[in-house]
Structure 1
C-alpha cells in the first residue's frame, strides 16, 4: 500500500508528542504478539512427539501405525536433529524476502506437516512430517529473532524478546493439554488452526524498517516506523528515520564482501559470546532434566506421581520466563543471568547431596522441589538470555544469517547434552552428574561476569559500536527518556557533527 500523504497513514494518526507512552508501546507489543503466534505453533510441534509415542507404541488396536522401540526412540529426537538444517538456511532465506514475509511463508510447511500427520497411514509419513517441522522450526529462527530486535525501542526490547520462550513453552503445554482429552490425529487437525491464524495475522503488522531501508524502500520504511511508534504521522518520526537511515546506509557503504563479514571482530566476538551462553543454557542441567524428567523423578522417589511432577516442572518454566519478562527492564540481563546461574547451581548442588545420601521418602519432597526450582531459575535467565542476545549483538548486515547460525548451534548443544546424559550417569552416577551441572553453573557465572555486557536499554547502534571496539558500554541499564516522546534517546543520534565524527571513526 502506497501512502500519498501523512493524512492517509491511519485514521488514528496524530503527532507523536500527543501520544501516551502506552500508545507508543502498544503497536510494538501487538507486532511481537503476532510473531509469538508463530512461535506458539513451533512449540506445539515440539510437544507433539510426547503424544505420538504412547499412541504409536502398539497399545491401541484401532491404530494402523505401530512402531517398535527403535523407531519410537527416534520420534522424540528426529525433529531436533533437523532444526539446525533449517537454521543454516534461515538467514539466507530471510534477507532477500524480508522478516515478515519469511515468517508468513514458514507457516505453509507447518500446515503441511499437521495435515500429513492427520492423514498418515504409514510410518514414513510420520517421520517425514517430523522432519518438516524440524527444518521449518529452524527456518523461523532468523526472521523471528531479527524482527523483534529491529522493530522495538531499547526500553521494550528485553521484555518483548523474553516473551519468545514463553510462547514456545506455552505451545508445548498446550499439546500436553490437548493430548489429555483428544486422540493424536484430532490434535494434529486442531493444530492446523495455529499456522493459518499466524499467516493471516502477519498481514496486519509492518515489515522491519531496518530491512526496508537496506532495500532502499524509504517510503515504506517511514510508514513502518510511524506505525510502530504509535500510529503517528510521518513528520513525527522523520528525525528517527533519518538517523536510522544514515547508520544503515553508512554500514552498507562500508560493507565488505559477504564472506569477510564473518571474520570481522563485530561478528566473531558476539558469536563467541552467544555460543557460550547457549552452552551454559544446555549444560546447566535443564535440557536433560526436561527430557528425562520422568526417569529422574522416579529415581529420586518423588512423593507424587512422576508425570504430575513433570507438569509442575513445565509450570515452573513458564513462571521463570514471566518473572524474567517482568524484571529484565528494571534490573537488566546481567543481574537476571547471575540470579539464574547461581540459583540453578545451588539447586543441583543440594539435590546431588540428597541423591548421594539416599534420603528416606519423607525427605524426597526436597530434591523434587529443588529440581522444579532449577527449572524456574534457568528459565528466569540463562535459558532465554542467548535468544535475546541473538537479536541484539549482531550487525545489521550479518544479523539474519548469524541468527540462523546461532540457533543451529543451540540445537546441536542440546542434542549433545541429551545424548551424553545417560553416559554421564553411568560414569559419574546421578549425584555426580548433578555436581557437574552445579559446577558448570557456578563457573559460568564467574566467566559471564567478565564477558557479558549489559545490553538492556541500549540501542542497536550502541551495541554494534561496542562490539566494533568504538564504544565502551557500561553495565547499567539504559533508562534515558527521549524528550520528543517517541522513544529512547540514541546516543549515536547527536546531530550532524557527531554523526560525521562517528563515520570518520568507522
Structure 2
C-alpha cells in the first residue's frame, strides 16, 4: 500500500509539472516523474490484485486493471482532439487524486502482512476481503505454511534473483517483457499519427478507431483469462498482433512499389486495428498478470523491479528507434515486429507455465519443481 501512495505522488507531481511547464526542462521533469509513477504502478497493482483475489477469479480481476487503463487511454485519445495538452495534463491529475482518497479504504495485502509477522491483521484483512461469513481457515493455513517456509530462508538480496531455483521464473519474466515490447507496441502507439499520415489516411479517424477498438478487446480478456487460461490467450493474442503487423508491412511494401493507394490505406487501418485489438485482449495485460503470480513473495520486490526495468527500457529503445527504422523502411520495421510477435507464440509454448486455477503458493512450488 505504501508503494501505491508513492505512485500517486510521482504521477501528480509529473502532471502538475507538465501543466505549469515554462520550457522543455519542465516537460522533461514531468515526463520523468510520470515514468517513475507509471512504471511502479504497472507492476504493483497487478501484484496487489493477485495477492488479494481468490484463485478462481484472479486472472479476470487483474485483467480488469488493464481495461481501466485502456478506457483511460481511449478517453484521452478522444478529448485530445478537442483540448490543449495543458488541459489534458490537468485532467490527468483527477484519477490520481481519486485514487489517493480511495487508498484510505483499501485493505493491506494479507500475504504481505503474513510475511512481516502481523498475524492478527493478516487474518482480519483476509476475512474482510472474503466476507464476514466466509470460511478462510484453509487459505490462512496455506498462506501461513508457505510464509513459514520462506522465513527459513535467509533474507533475499538482489543477486539472489539469479539463484538456480528462480531461474525459470526469471527467464519467463524477462523474456515476456522483452519480447512484448520489441513486438512494437510503444512505437505503434506513439507514432500512430505518423503511420496513418504515411499511408494517406486521416490521423484523427485512425486514432479514434484505435481508441474505440481497445475497450471491447480489453473487456473480453476479463472473461477469457480465467476461462481459457493465460497461455492460450497470450498465444492467440501474439499471433493476432503478428498478423496485424504483417498487414501493415504488406501495405507499405505495396506503397513502395506504387501499387493501389486505396488498398494501402485500408490495409494499414485494418492492420493497426487488428494489432491493437489483439494486444489489448492479451499481449498488454497477460505478461503483467503472469509476473504477479510466478515470483515468490521473498523476491517479488526485486524481481518486479527487474522485469519493470526491462519492460520500460525496451519500451524506450523501441520508442527512440522507431522513427529511424520507419524512415529506413516503413515496410521492414513492421515485418520485424511481426517476426517478434510470432516468436512470442513459441516462447510461451515452450517456457511459460499455466497459472489458471492455482493459488500463488501452488504456482511458486510448481515453478521450483520444473527445475528438478
* TM-score, normalised via structure 1 length: 0.68
Show the counterpart of 1:258: 157
| Selected match of 1:344 from 221, 241, 250 | 241
User: Residue 309 and residue 249 in structure 1: after superposition, are their counterparts in 2 closer, same or farther (change >3 A)?
Assistant: same
Q: Which secondary structure does the structure 1 equivalent of 2:356 belong to? A: coil
Show the counterpart of 1:497: none
The correspondence of residues 215-230 of structure 1 with structure 2, limited to 5 A, is: 215-230=116-131
More helix by share: 2
Aligned-partner Cα distance in 1 for 2:272–2:57: 31
Matched, 1:271 2:174: no
Aligned-partner Cα distance in 2 for 1:440–1:108: 36
Matched, 1:463 2:360: no
User: Residue 255 and residue 349 in structure 1: after superposition, are their counterparts in 2 closer, same or farther (change >3 A)?
Assistant: same
Aligned-partner Cα distance in 2 for 1:144–1:257: 22
Aligned-partner Cα distance in 1 for 2:244–2:43: 33
Runs (5+) with no aligned partner, structure 1: 1-99, 473-506
The correspondence of residues 9-88 of structure 1 with structure 2, limited to 5 A, is: none
Shift of 1:399: 0.8
Show the counterpart of 2:318: 417
Shift of 1:244: 1.1
Show the counterpart of 1:79: none
Tell me if the contact between 1:332 and 1:454 (Cα under 8 Å) persists in the aligned partners. Answer: yes
User: Residue 461 and residue 441 in structure 1: after superposition, are their counterparts in 2 closer, same or farther (change >3 A)?
Assistant: same
| Selected match of 2:77 from 173, 176, 179 | 176
Show the counterpart of 2:348: 448
Tell me if the contact between 2:142 and 2:361 (Cα under 8 Å) persists in the aligned partners. Answer: no
Tell me if the contact between 1:113 and 1:130 (Cα under 8 Å) persists in the aligned partners. Answer: yes
Show the counterpart of 1:199: 100
Aligned-partner Cα distance in 2 for 1:357–1:194: 44
Aligned-partner Cα distance in 2 for 1:157–1:103: 20
Q: Which secondary structure does the structure 2 equivalent of 1:154 belong to? A: coil
Q: Deviations over 1:395-439 (max 9, x none)?
A: 110112211221121011111112222333344x22222222222
Runs (5+) with no aligned partner, structure 2: none
Shift of 1:215: 1.3
Matched, 1:374 2:275: yes
Aligned-partner Cα distance in 2 for 1:372–1:213: 45
Tell me if the contact between 1:143 and 1:400 (Cα under 8 Å) persists in the aligned partners. Answer: no
Aligned-partner Cα distance in 1 for 2:279–2:75: 21
| Selected match of 1:148 from 46, 49, 61 | 49
Matched, 1:285 2:184: yes
Aligned-partner Cα distance in 2 for 1:388–1:365: 34
Shift of 1:470: 6.4
Tell me if the contact between 1:334 and 1:454 (Cα under 8 Å) persists in the aligned partners. Answer: yes
Q: Which secondary structure does the structure 2 equivalent of 1:212 belong to? A: helix
User: Residue 299 and residue 330 in structure 1: after superposition, are their counterparts in 2 closer, same or farther (change >3 A)?
Assistant: same
Structure with the greater alpha carbon radius of gyration: 1
Aligned-partner Cα distance in 2 for 1:142–1:432: 32
Aligned-partner Cα distance in 1 for 2:14–2:347: 42
Q: Which secondary structure does the structure 1 equivalent of 2:57 belong to? A: helix
Q: Which secondary structure does the structure 1 equivalent of 2:358 belong to? A: coil
Tell me if the contact between 1:280 and 1:382 (Cα under 8 Å) persists in the aligned partners. Answer: no
Show the counterpart of 1:28: none
Shift of 1:392: 0.4
Tell me if the contact between 2:63 and 2:222 (Cα under 8 Å) persists in the aligned partners. Answer: yes
Show the counterpart of 1:335: 232
Tell me if the contact between 2:178 and 2:310 (Cα under 8 Å) persists in the aligned partners. Answer: no
Shift of 1:296: 1.3
Aligned-partner Cα distance in 2 for 1:286–1:105: 27
User: Residue 319 and residue 123 in structure 1: after superposition, are their counterparts in 2 closer, same or farther (change >3 A)?
Assistant: same
Q: Which secondary structure does the structure 1 equivalent of 2:353 belong to? A: coil
Aligned-partner Cα distance in 1 for 2:18–2:320: 27
Tell me if the contact between 1:266 and 1:468 (Cα under 8 Å) persists in the aligned partners. Answer: yes
Aligned-partner Cα distance in 1 for 2:254–2:239: 23
Tell me if the contact between 2:3 and 2:44 (Cα under 8 Å) persists in the aligned partners. Answer: yes
User: Residue 124 and residue 342 in structure 1: after superposition, are their counterparts in 2 closer, same or farther (change >3 A)?
Assistant: closer
Shift of 1:182: 4.1
Show the counterpart of 2:333: 433
Aligned-partner Cα distance in 1 for 2:92–2:245: 36
Q: Deviations over 1:200-243 (max 9, x none)?
A: 1111121001111111111101111001112336xx32332122
Shift of 1:382: 2.0
Shift of 1:256: 5.3
Matched, 1:209 2:110: yes
User: Residue 344 and residue 256 in structure 1: after superposition, are their counterparts in 2 closer, same or farther (change >3 A)?
Assistant: same
Show the counterpart of 1:357: 254
Show the counterpart of 2:141: 242
